Chain A
Amino acid sequence: MEYRVPAVRMQNISKTFGSIVANDHAELTVYRGEILALLGENGSGKTTLMNMLAGIYYPDEGQIFIDGEEAVIASPHDAYKYGIGMIHQHFKLVDVLSAAENVALGLKEKGRLNLKKVAERITELCDQYGFELDPWEKIYNMSVSEKQTVEIIKVLYRGADILILDEPTAVLTPQETEKLFTVLRNMRSDDKAIIIITHKMNEVEELSDRVAVLRKGAYVGDMLTKDTNAEEMSGMLVGHPVELSIERPDPVDPKPRIVVEGLTVRNEEGLLKLDDVSFTANTGEILGIAGISGSGQKELLEAIAGLQPVEKGSIRYIRDDGTEDELTLKDPLTIQKMGVSLSFVPEDRLGMGLVGSMDITENMMLRSYRRGNSLFLDQKNPHKLAAEVVKDLSVNTPNLETPVRRLSGGNVQKVLVGREIASAPTVLLTAYAVRGLDINSSYMIYELINRQKAAGVAVVYVGEDLDVLLELSDRILVLCDGRVSGILPGRGADKKEVGLMMTRIRKEAADEE
């Protein structure tokens, strides 16, 4: 192969946060006209490494070369100077401004601000790479994928030709992902260097030219995508071979457990979030919920858990002996006191499911601290439970006294799921249980969920990765804009069809049910 000067070469990069080593003499090389997939488990230092390239952190050690010249990137401004732009997982946009205004923010151009010119340039960029975006649209009116487009345009506008995308597809539908990939391929043809962080192997195989793998902050190696496969890559990033298949045992004796009828929910602003939703969740079965994010998944789970005021409709809980309890408009404490063991793994792990500044033991206490008549806390049992969860789910933590905020995403989720499962639930609600988790952690969560199903728990699984939903669920309920656009059997469901149902109501499907 001919020798090319890499667009970016990172050499011997180390970064520590206190006692935590995020990057340990890591390396990375990316060429122009190439899409590089950066793989690694949670906490393997991918994002940190990229943040150093984007000028957000400054490396403790090591060098960065841009086009062969040594570069010092001490701020995002420096990064732009070298043509480096990063699209973060969490968008950094001002909601009340339009796309053009957001792009113009922070520009240091001479003369007066000419928004029209900005908008024209945005349209040019859109045409060039195949985006669809109205520069005058306000951010709050946009879908997640449009917001992402604004973020990408923002860095392109600043002349970036080295782009870093941190898990860009985590929030997109299959159709939107396909569009994004088209755009990225167009950029590659335009000789841009693109680094994409992702956990999804199928995307790596579909999109990237080369794969680089990080493990525990250190560089493991890189290879051409066409010369490798998902199993090999997973093995490389975990450090040992892994099995990549999700089990789906047949449900044993499913009986209705939760019956939802005509559920209608408005959010605090009075917007209709759920409209006449009806379904049944059965024991020993996984009910998958598919839908574009914000289609009412959150409200649905929160309404069942007693956290969301219900406008109309009913939620009933059916016990083993056939007696029924009304859960509608009951708060979580009342539901618990009724003897309904309902576990809920919410989407917002640290903001709702756990307390970030508390340690693992204190977080275990959240569910159980009320037990007993003593005025004082029982610390012994939660401590025991914490030790068990850490051991059984192999949570990677220095000790039980570490605030959960300091743990990586996968470990935070293990703590949360571990606690929720520990109470031997009859109903398990999970929202985006594997969001941001690496392969190893994800498969562990799938297995935990399957174990609950085998134990006869009625599992409601809200997911975003359609491939997984189709592999895991016994039945799939598709939500579209707060309404049920259909309930299909999970076995044999077609991905394209589900994708379409997510974006428009299919009358026939609803009637068939």
Chain B
Amino acid sequence: MNNSMRSFALHLFVLAILVVLFFTVSEYHSGNLARILVLSVYAMGYNLLFGYTGLLSLGHALFFASGMYGLGLAMQHLGTPAAPAMLVGLISAFVVSAVIGFLALRTSGVAFMIVTLMFAQAGYLTILLAGKYTRGDEGFVIPQADRAIGSIDLSQSDTRYFAALILFAVCFLFIGWLVQTRFGKTLVAIRENPERARMLGYDIQRHKLLAVIISGTLSGAAGAAYALLFGYAGATFSTVQYSIYPLLWVLLGGAGTTIGPLIGAIFMTYLIDISSEYTNAYMLIAGLALIFLTLFAPHGLAGVLRKKWLPWLP
């Protein structure tokens, strides 16, 4: 079996486990998992830019929020049904990421981080300033009756789980395929040594811009799905904290691996969930776990797997 087949088999295996989990865990955990699957899509989008292209953004919450508000505002104010509203969310994230990418990629390194952070802050403030439509900090609830595609009610735990899983599966297989293509390999070359890649004849700027757009659109898809499946859009999702989360999930799970974002999101969510049962200082425990993982597994959990046992892991 060659590496591509192994990789494809692994992706299918992960998806099969996620199907089985729904039927074996309690409703509380399946609800948690549905949320994790949507946030993993966000982390996968982030990982394409950070883990595969080597661009550290601190403004991805803006892309997540673009999808979320694109869908939410269309449903809330225009009465758009869920499926076309999802498309509006995707288009919003696509346009915002193309514009931000075009402007922010005039910088690199620390400057790129700062510029993306500033754009995200500007987005957050815009959401607050447009409170008449967005209801500012308070956000707005999407009525349960509207959260349906055709006759499928997405507010129910089982349909919500499988809708999240379908979105996750599509993005997971897409990323798994993308990183094996010429485009994906070029992104890795750019991450490793951009100047060398340019000398070999690759158009670095074009590749980076495409990476920002794909990454931003995936993040926006996660934002739109979050609003649709969990029925809420709020300014909290556009804060710096929501730009930091995918970075943490990806670092913990393994940057530059397709499975890392899922592992990181599961690990972080459950670490906080379990530790908060025992202490109010659960963020301290999460922080300590992060420090230990950074010290002893700097490539993240999937990075360790790849380094020690599965060198073919994509």
Q: Do A and B come from one complex?
A: no
Residues of B within 8 A of A (CB): none
